[in-house]
Amino acid sequence: MARAKIPARERLIFAMDVQNADAARRLADTLGDSVSFYKLGLELFMSGGTFELLDWMVGRGKRVFVDLKFFDVPATVAGAVRNLRNRGVTFTTVHGNQSIMEAAVAAAGDVGILAVTVLTSLDRGDLVDMGFQWDVGALVLSRARRALEAGCAGVVSSGLEAKLLRAGVDDRLIVVTPGIRPVENRPTDDQKRVMSVPEAFVNGADYIVVGRPIRDAVDPRAAAEQIQATIAGLFPHA
């Protein structure tokens, strides 16, 4: 299971889904060294002061994933991605067709471009409502192949499709898997295609994204360390 050579403790990406940068700093201080990789998403970015927060996190030795799922005309997406260069950002996300992904990759510099496949809040019924007649797995694999052609570093995919991705594109793309719900802390929420930490990695994930099960825990640091212990057991030599 040692696909990408990633330090075990960096395989956990914590989704910093809080209301503002001050709350993010407080939570990061609480988590301490239990988390070394953070995802900054749309809600937080819209609150203001997020680039300062990004610089603060990078300055503390943290890795940062900017998850804004860019989807616009290619030139606009390229401009947005260009503004993330040389800031210590590890990954950012894009939606869209081949031209959008290619524009993002061309503008990326030191930022890894992750293509969104199918959101974990969607299931086959949702896709049918949106006009897609494909099975979820087939659509994820098709989008992953297009991401590979465009030069993306990886994809964002549910762990349910990670095994299919490994069979279809091998290890040529990084697989980042959200929708992780530890069995002992599995809240009821808007995620439809979820799985546990071991299941995601066994199926082929390189990184997992965990938000609410850590953020909403009585002891967020202990919750993060429990996940880290599970990952360490899966990657004992990392």
Which residues are catalytically annotated?
A: 69
CA distance 57 to 195: 28
The secondary structure of 33-56 as a DSSP string is GG--EEEEEHHHHTTS-HHHHHHH
CB 81 within 8 A of CB 110: no
- Residue among 206, 174, 177, 175 nearest 191 (CA): 177
The alpha-helical segments, DSSP class H, found in the chain are 21-31, 42-45, 50-59, 74-82, 98-107, 124-129, 136-150, 159-169, 197-203, 212-215, 220-234
- Nearest 10 degrees: Cα torsion 95, 100, 102, 105: -60
CA distance 21 to 191: 25
CA distance 2 to 31: 26
